[in-house]
Structure 1
Amino acid sequence: MSTAIDDMEAYSKLTDQVFQQILYSSSSELAGARKILRNIVCRRLYKCVGETHADKPITVTEEKLQQWRVEVSGATPKTGPQSDVLLTPDDFIFSVVCMDYGMKEKNPVDNVWFYSKSDPNKAFQIRKNQKTDQETLAVARKHVVQWCMNNNFSKPQDGDVTAPELTPLKDSWSQDSQRDSQRDSQRDGQQRQSCRETKFDIWMKCDG
């Protein structure tokens, strides 16, 4: 199937019927694929038990994945009620997604040209010294949150993310947080230090 993209005739015959052909085949070579499809049909699906992001780009190897599986299976919580359930490294699957802006470590904005309304025929670039420093932006957002508190104004958008140490101090703002989109707020409040980001989806196997 993976080589069909190089053969247009074979690719044109690659339809949804492939699912049924694998599912009902008796070939020993398709045993692994057949087991996966049966789990899908019977809804024995992996359960996502966590998602996290690395603070900097990293190279993920099979050895690193195995190390993480061992570490996760042994990361028993030190507080709270203890469970008798024993987990092994084989119980976990790491789905690693490496994301960038199409230029690896480079910032694509450095290759973007802009136009202004005053001179639409002249293109220009925004240099690094013209860009607002991320730390300065974070401090400015905290100033805005504090200013709104001082003037008894409503909570600014994403105020609980940009200044979490301030927003709990104002009771009337606690109701506003329920109406905020958590995902959009976290994405807007997170200050990325690199043009690349590595996201981890951690899944747990189901018996099949």
Structure 2
Amino acid sequence: MAKVFNDPIHGHIELPPLLVKIIDTPQFQRLRKIKQLGGGYYVFPGASHNRFEHSVGVGHLAGELVKALRAKQEQSLNSESLINDRDVLCVQIAGLCHDLGHGPFSHVFDGMFNPQADPNGEKWEHEDASILMFDHLVDDNKLTPVMNEYGLITEGDNENDLVFIKEMIKGSVKNNSPLNEQLYKGRNNEKSFLYEIVANKQNGIDVDKFDYFARDCHHLGIQNNFDHRRFIVFARVCNVDGQLHICSRDKEMANLYDMFHTRNSLHRRAYQHRVKMAVEIMIKDALLKAGQDLQIKWAEGKACCLSKAKKHKEAYTKLTDEVIEQILHHGACSSTPSSLEEAAQIIQRIMCRDLYQLVGEIKLKKKDQEKAEDVTKRLKTELTKVIPKDGKQDENDNFEVKVAKFDYGKKNEDPISNYTYFYSKFNPTIGFKIKPEEVSNLLPECFSEKHIRVYWKRRNDKRLEDAKKCFEAVKKEVEEN
């Protein structure tokens, strides 16, 4: 039976029965306990929303967009659409399940904790974890027969819907393959435009961003100038040099630039806010301290340490933001290992607003954007000379250097003039890129900017002044060169 959700962003959402069955599983309900903005809640009081409601919103928008594309295609071709009911359902499921793999505090886990906890391991992204968790959700809740009842094909190599869903979660491939080369396994090239709906790696215009821009702005109290409803109304499937793509009406260029401007603004004002970044470094440090000694239990007699939880689907299902409560609980016990006690002390500092301090920030010039890694290494080297380690401690216990990146999603390129297709009112079936002379003169000359920040971790430490002097010397050197 379909179910209606009353959402603060999209209003009353009606989702089909199969999506409701997926929502009503432990693997999906886990998302209720993972903050959408990681440590942002410790800076913005309204940022209490979770991955759960975002995922429901993306599932809804994925359905709205694919249904709108199907309706317009049927009208323009006056024939049966390329998009069938199975396609629609798969796109909705991919949107719903795209964030199943997020760990505690969202990107803190996959982007900050894991690279340091397992530096020699394989590259691990939340999209890969989402695919693993989707498989676990389907198997653990015996949903394969249910999916078959709703018309999905879950076996075989030809248009396997489970493969299709997981490919969409992973994201579309770059559009540089030969036209005769098969791009995907779940669907043939004729339907490759469907991969642009949930996670569009070509230009970043997808329903995942539509939802979190609107939702994050709502909870942060920041104005969102992008109108995703208008985008859906004017979106069409068009032929671009022999391949089908989702294209927007040419007059919608300004609305899309508003989307990328909103993205940039959110990163500057919220996602990479100086204090938020300090909090997230502290959460990461606490997780690292607890990584080997904190046990994640999923059944009687079955457990693994925090740093190994990503390799156990059952343990990962139990891993949420509540891990910091577990750290605090174990840190208060008399028999607690010293590492857990140190982790608990870091969490206590967050609770008392005794946060890591910002030593300073270097805004790299346009010509120096590619030197961020070199400047980071230089800062680490010089700070380590000035601030020697204490016994078993290393520089990671004294300070941390972070690079904050602000862009339009494609590094220093314009994602619209270089990667986005449009159609005209007079020829709505053929897509094209906009001409350079039609691009607004009000756009920035540089689409990417990097700020290098240094955070001091020690509390009440006189060496902070030495660190500041060292930082200012390096900053002056960078700015003069």
Question: Structure 1-normalised TM-score?
Answer: 0.48
Rg larger in structure? 1
Q: Which has the higher contact order (CA 8 A, sep 6+)?
A: 1
Higher-helix-fraction structure: 2
Question: Structure 2-normalised TM-score?
Answer: 0.24
